[in-house]
Amino acid sequence: MRLASVLMASLLVLLALPAQAQDMQGPSWEMGWVSDVDPKFIVDLEEDWDVTGELVVYVSNDGPAELSLALDYDYDEDGPFVLDGPDSISVSGNTNDTFTISISGGTAEEVRAFSPSSKLNLKIIGEEKVGESTLRTQEIDADLAVPRMFRLIPNLVPPTDDLFAGSWVEMTLEISNMGNTQDAVVQAKATIRSCPHLSVSGLEQLDDLVVQVSPSSGEGKASVVLRLEASSSHQERTCEVSIAVESEGDNTQRSSTIDADVKAPKAAEDASEEEDQQTSSSNDVGDMPWVGAHEVLLAVLIGALLIRRPE
């Protein structure tokens, strides 16, 4: 009987050991994402390359006592993002709570240089500590990325030669890709104000023209040479010429405008100068003494009478 009692007591002790060990570890808790980070979290990006975003994390405390966690953030600080979150969080027993990590960006050059196909991994580590000892640790992670930004900027360079009616001159259209990903021109369109007899040719070169990302130094522009053509009936005046290009990436049209002077044709100027010279010569002849027909006839008759007079 005594032996059975001893065995029963030993069995009860053995059964109680796992529960005691579990109690020493403390009640369970869980940390996870509220924000949608699958497959990655894409920040908001303004046209001036200003980055904004918020990541929300929940902590579920299933125990009766308050839970205190120390929080640590592991990510590449040389990347384009700056993260700001709390160092710790306390969650009451049998409740859930959340904390927020705000995301901002570095310089505009750093953010623009970060390709949309790249990603930065963020790891959040939560540590439940008792004194200096860590009782339990959990970690979650997510990939951060930037959206694709499309911005084709045309720049129409004015022609260096004079444009005369009935002739043409060349002008250059430069296109910079100030976005963060490759883009292309869908189509280009010319608009000319005040000059119906002026036209632009060569725009078909821009159809489906691929433009790589231009560095911040301003190099790497795509360029095409266009013709500005004035008909022979064009009057002498200043014309407004605009070229608009449509981006394949965001279907946005952006344009560049110049003023172009059309001059009278050279042939007309030369003819005008020649006419002036002829008029001047005629005026010079008019200043010379002029002998009329009557005076000539009178002189002939006098001469005949002198010849017939008898000696």
Q: What is the pLDDT of residue 275?
A: 54
Pairing state of beta strands 209-211 and 198-201? unpaired
Give the residue from 145, 173, 190 where a domain finishes. Answer: 145
Three-class SS of residue 8? helix
116 shares its domain with 226 = no
One domain, residues 69 and 175: no
Tell me if 288 is assigned to some domain.
no
Give, as one character, the DSSP assignment of residue 205: G
- Residue finishing a domain among 145, 161, 189: 145
* Domains held by the chain: number: 2
Q: Give pLDDT, residue 306.
A: 59
Instruction: Examine the domain organization and report whether 82 and 173 are in the same domain.
Output: no
Q: Check residue 246 and give its pLDDT.
A: 98
pLDDT of the residue at 216: 78
Identify the pLDDT of residue 304.
Answer: 58
In a domain, 211, yes or no: yes
One domain, residues 138 and 189 = no
pLDDT value at position 134? 85
Same domain membership, residue 117 and residue 198? no
CA distances in angstroms from 77 to 80, 81, 82, 225, listed in the order given: 8, 7, 7, 45
**Cβ 238 vs Cβ 261: under 8 Å:** yes
Together in a domain, 37 and 93: yes
Asked if residue 305 is part of any domain, the answer here is no
Task: Tell me if 183 is assigned to some domain.
Answer: yes
Q: Give the dihedral of Cα atoms 264, 269, 271, 276; nearest 10 deg.
A: 130
* Structure-token match 């911040």, residue found: 216
* Cβ-Cβ contacts under 8 Å for 293 (sequence gap 6 or more): none
Whether residue 122 is contained in a domain is answered as yes
Structural domain of 88 = 27-145
221: number of Cβ within 10 Å: 17
Co-location of 107 and 204 in the same domain: no
**167 shares a domain with 129:** no
Please check whether residues 131 and 163 belong to one and the same domain: no
**Is the pTM of the predicted complex or chain greater than 0.75?**
no
What does the pLDDT read at residue 131? 74
Q: Residue 195 domain-assigned?
A: yes
DSSP state, 106? Answer: -
**Domain boundary, last residue among 104, 126, 145:** 145
**Residue 5 domain-assigned?**
no
Low-confidence ranges of the chain (pLDDT < 70): 1-26, 266-311
Cα–chain-centroid distance for residue 144?
Answer: 22
Specify whether 38 is located in the same domain as 112: yes
Residue 226 belongs to a domain: yes
3-state helix, strand, coil in the chain (%, to 5): 25, 45, 35
* Same domain, residue pair 108 and 170: no
Give me the CATH number covering residue 130. Answer: 2.60.40.10
CA distances from 51 to 20, 46, 103, 109, 145 (A): 50, 7, 7, 12, 11
| Pair (140, 157) in one structural domain | no
The strands making up 152-157's β-sheet, listed across from edge to edge, are: 152-157, 168-177, 222-230, 198-201
